[in-house]
Each structure stands twice: as structure tokens, then as C-alpha cells.
Amino acid sequence: MTLWYGEVHAHPPGAMLAALTALAGRLRPGGLMVLEYQPWELYPREDLLEWRACDGSPFADGPHFWLQEYHWDEASQSEINVHWIVDPATGAAKRYAQSGRAWRDEDLAGLCAAAGLVGGVFLPPVTGVDARHEFAMLISRR
């Protein structure tokens, strides 16, 4: 069973524990759980701003300006990322936001253990192309 694309980062710890516990319960004894996650050290723990002019992006088909704001929230160990998409012809702006909780390896292993998953092995991204844009893996067993 797998959780891909960093889904482990998208939910509060209690919700993630409940989900992992339910998923682990569906594995037969010895079954594998593969979690794809973004390592702690790849989270920027500072406020950053960047912008660029785009011909197209996941947010808009035509030309636009894309402003990104990154904010680190220490209390929740989370990154908040806000995307502002500005239409250069009209000046209209659309706002999109996402957040992700960062997990230290030992905390992620502890979360899995609390869900009944043991023997965690941490592995680098599958392709090895660029760790900043790919997710590492934690493989554990029921």
C-alpha cells in the first residue's frame, strides 16, 4: 500500500495517525506500507517571496504573473505557500494556498510505529534526478 506525492504532509498529525492506523489495519501481516515524503531539511524555514512571468502554468493557460509567498509556522512545523496569479491584461488576481507539515525522520517513524507499522527503512527518491523536486520514501511493515 502506498501514500504518494507527500500526502503525509497534507493532514494534521492526529488525522494522519488515524489514516495510517486504518490503512495498516487493511494490510495483511508482513504487508508493506510505502510513504513518499519530503525530508525535513528540504523545507525552507524562513519567509520567502518570488515571482515570475509565465506563458502558462498549472494555474492559468495564458500569460500571467505568478507571485509565491512562503511562510514557515514554527508552532505547527508547517510551510504555508500562497500563490497569487495576476492577469497582466486586467490586473485581476486569484489566490491559491496550500500548506504542508514537515516531519523529521524520527517523528515520521514514530507516527508509523504508533499506527502499527514497524521496521521503517528510509530511502532516497526513486529516480535520483533532483531530491528537491522528488520525494524520499519510508517503507515499513505491518
Which grid coordinates belong to 60? 492559468
pTM of the model: 0.76
Report the C-alpha gap between 116 and 108 in whole angstroms. Answer: 13
List, for residues 13-37, the tens digit of each pLDDT value.
Answer: 999 999 999 999 999 999 999 998 8
Q: Please tell me whether residue 137 adopts helix, strand or coil conformation.
A: strand
List, for residues 78-98, the tens digit of each pLDDT value.
Answer: 999 999 999 999 999 999 999
